[in-house]
Amino acid sequence: MKAILITYNQAYYDDIAKVLNEHGVKGYTEWDEIKGHGSDKGEPHLGTHAWPTLNNAVITIVPDEAVDGILQTLRERDEKAPDLGLRAFVWNIENMI
């Protein structure tokens, strides 16, 4: 099992939900209106007057074989609109109840 943490500009909400649905992901946890700044490029998403946009994040646990397909679909979305700051991170899940 793997955990995938996806962070994205809140404008991406419908796209992220669609990607997860397309790949059969039923369970996830989402955080709304989080702040962040990318380490490479892009603008801060801080919810302030100067930087009004915010991010969301979602984490899901999926079988190992699902990861590559999900990441590929997310990569394609990110390439269409790189300024929106879509990122995905994968961790091993050693145990769960």
Q: What digits encode the pLDDT tens for the residues 43-73?
A: 788 889 998 889 999 999 999 999 999 999 9
Which token pair is 94? 């050693």
Which token pair is 7? 């962070």
pLDDT at 84: 73
CATH 3.30.70.120 fits domain 2-92? yes
The confidence band for 82, taking pLDDT boundaries of 50, 70 and 90, is: confident
| In the chain, % of residues over pLDDT 90 | 67
Return the CA Rg of the chain: 14
**How many angstroms separate the CA atoms of 48 and 65, rounded?**
40
